[in-house]
């Protein structure tokens, strides 16, 4: 039977998750780039959203959630064959149309996260080709492994809302993309600061609000699991924000707005896989870990390894998601947690979590590298130096984000 309350909540959660990408992620990323590239970032986000939506309807939903092998779903639900107004998903109490739409928003935001790795220097055609192939080769199989009854689900991996499916895949793929594409001109010593920190904060605020749909919506019901997931999500975000703020304040004497909200996103990514399994203290611990570990990861990637993952997708989303996935093995037994499966130990669960992270990270890295090489040899990956200097807004899209004199050094 379809439950009206559960259906209403999941419809709301679906809207919130789409709100994370359009406009949340778009504004968050757009504020971090130079003024001459703001529209290109927004274009990437909305174009990926449209592309992923149509592909999800056609084939990706079926490959992710239709019965199949332990490694990939079947084709029987392609073009939503058999999905009617009265169809119920699995043993849930929600219409399958709503479940399909909810999961579609996850398929939208995951490749959109990768945008942060290649801003200001990538060909638009390469973005579309990469995103298309990546959704088929990386996202759909991983979603099936974890949420569609695949082999990771069968060994008992815990990923409530996407630490593996969303953040590990996007983070690892972003790192590979940044390495293959190469750094922006002037990296690392002559990269100008974000052109609109206020826009970054607005986008981060939208992401924070939308994340309640992301995590609490993954309960697929208006129940106690959804309530706890919402609570721990908020606590993790607030805690990680304060951690990042404090570290910057101590190191540089001045806490930055961009740093604070980057900590917010790190906390949200870290709590995501554990959100439906842990209690309030688990949320705080995930926030502490996410704020601290992701901060260090940013420094290592940018300064030690000199990789231009431009907007820190790997360090924030990838490292945060993997950290939260591993922590879930221990925090699930805390006060307010749901506990381990019968006969399972924390050590055993940790090994399961580590196996899931390692397998998905390896698959994402290898597959992304192959896709990028294919794109490189067909449409090409990178714009010319002249176009990069001019900015992608005008050189790739024939528009400008600001049609008046900007009055600063970031035009």
pLDDT, averaged across the chain: 96
Integer Cα distance of 290 and 280 in angstroms: 15
328 within domain boundaries: yes
Alpha-carbon span 225 to 340, nearest angstrom? 15
Q: What is the pLDDT of residue 188?
A: 87
Instruction: Concatenate the DSSP letters of all residues of 190-254 into one string.
Output: SPPPPS-HHHHHHHHHHHHHHHHHHHHGGGSSSSHHHHHHHHHHHHHHHHHHHHHHHHHHHHHSS
**Spatial distance between the Cα atoms of 115 and 117, rounded to a whole number of angstroms:** 5
In a domain, 234, yes or no: yes
Q: How far apart are CA 150 and CA 43, in angstroms?
A: 34
pLDDT tens, 192-241?
899 999 999 999 999 999 999 999 999 999 999 999 999 999 999 999 99
Distances (CA, A) of 279 to 221, 235, 283: 18, 10, 7
Residue 234: count of CB within 10 angstroms of its CB: 21
- Reported as a pLDDT band with limits 50, 70 and 90, residue 407 is very low
First and final C-alpha spacing in the chain: 57
56-86: pLDDT as tens digits: 999 999 999 999 999 999 999 999 999 999 9
> Residue 401 — φ and ψ, nearest 5°?
-70, -30
Q: Specify the residue for token string 């082999």.
A: 151
In a domain, residue 170? The reply is: yes
Mean pLDDT of 350-378: 98
411 in any annotated domain: no
pLDDT, residue 190, reads 84
**Domain membership flag for residue 406:** no
pLDDT at 406 over 70: no
Tell me if 312 is assigned to some domain. yes
Mean of the pLDDT values across residues 294-323? 97
Q: What is the DSSP letter of 318?
A: I
CB 169 within 8 A of CB 142: yes
Closest CA to 264 of 325, 316, 213, 217: 316
**Both tokens of residue 144?**
């099936």
Instruction: State residue 187's pLDDT score.
Output: 93
Domain holding 60, by residue range, is: 4-397
> What CATH number is given to the structural domain containing 106?
1.10.3430.10
Instruction: Provide the token pair at 378.
Output: 């067909």
Average pLDDT for 366-386: 98
Q: Reduced to 3 states, what is the DSSP secondary structure of residue 134?
A: helix
pLDDT, average across residues 353-367: 98
Q: Which two tokens stand for residue 410?
A: 């970031």
Interatomic CA distance for residues 199 and 311, integer angstroms: 14
Report the alpha-carbon distance of residue 36 to residue 276 in Å, rounded: 41
Q: Is residue 268 part of a domain?
A: yes
Residue 407 lies in a domain: no
Report the b/e string of 281-303 with b at 16+ CB within 10 A: ebbbbbbbbbbbbbbebbeebbe
Instruction: Count up the domains in the chain and report the number.
Output: 1
CA–chain centroid gap for 76, Å, is 28
Using the predicted structure, report yes or no on whether residue 411 has a pLDDT greater than 70.
no
Using DSSP, state whether 73 is helix, strand or coil. Answer: strand
């Amino acid at each position: 039977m379809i439950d009206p309350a559960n259906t209403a909540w999941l419809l709301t959660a679906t809207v919130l998750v789409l709100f994370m990408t359009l406009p949340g992620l778009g504004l968050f990323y757009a504020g971090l780039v130079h003024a001459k590239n703001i529209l290109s970032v927004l274009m990437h986000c909305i174009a990926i959203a449209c592309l992923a939506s149509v592909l999800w309807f056609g084939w990706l939903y079926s490959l992710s959630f239709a019965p199949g092998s332990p490694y990939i779903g079947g084709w029987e639900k392609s073009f939503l064959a058999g999905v009617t107004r009265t169809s119920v998903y699995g043993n849930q109490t929600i219409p399958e149309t709503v479940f399909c739409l909810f999961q579609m928003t996850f398929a939208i935001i995951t490749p959109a996260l990768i945008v942060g790795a290649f801003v200001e220097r990538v060909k638009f055609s390469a973005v579309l080709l990469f995103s298309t192939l990546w959704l088929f080769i990386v996202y759909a199989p991983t979603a099936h492994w974890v949420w569609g009854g695949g082999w990771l689900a069968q060994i008992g991996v815990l990923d409530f809302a996407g630490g593996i499916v969303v953040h590990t895949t996007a983070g690892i793929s972003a790192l590979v993309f940044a390495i293959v594409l190469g750094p922006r001109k002037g990296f690392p010593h002559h990269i100008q600061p974000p052109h609109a920190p206020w826009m970054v904060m607005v986008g981060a605020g939208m992401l924070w609000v939308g994340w309640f749909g992301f995590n609490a919506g993954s309960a697929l019901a208006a129940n106690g699991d959804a309530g706890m997931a919402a609570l721990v999500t908020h606590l993790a975000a607030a805690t990680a924000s304060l951690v990042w703020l404090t570290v910057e304040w101590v190191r540089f004497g001045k806490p930055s707005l961009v740093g604070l909200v980057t900590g917010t996103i790190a906390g949200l990514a870290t709590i995501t896989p554990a959100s439906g399994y842990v209690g309030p203290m688990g949320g705080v611990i995930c926030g502490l870990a996410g704020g601290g570990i992701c901060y260090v990861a940013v420094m290592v990637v940018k300064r030690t390894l000199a990789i231009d993952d431009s907007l820190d997708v790997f360090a924030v989303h990838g490292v945060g998601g993997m950290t939260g996935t591993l922590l879930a093995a221990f925090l699930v037994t805390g006060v307010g947690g749901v506990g381990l499966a019968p006969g399972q130990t924390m050590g055993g669960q940790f090994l399961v979590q580590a196996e899931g992270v390692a397998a998905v990270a390896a698959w994402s890295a290898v597959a992304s590298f192959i896709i990028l090489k294919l794109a490189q040899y067909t449409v090409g990956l990178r714009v010319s130096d002249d176009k990069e200097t001019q900015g992608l807004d005008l050189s790739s899209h024939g528009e400008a984000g600001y049609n008046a004199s900007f009055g600063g050094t970031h035009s």
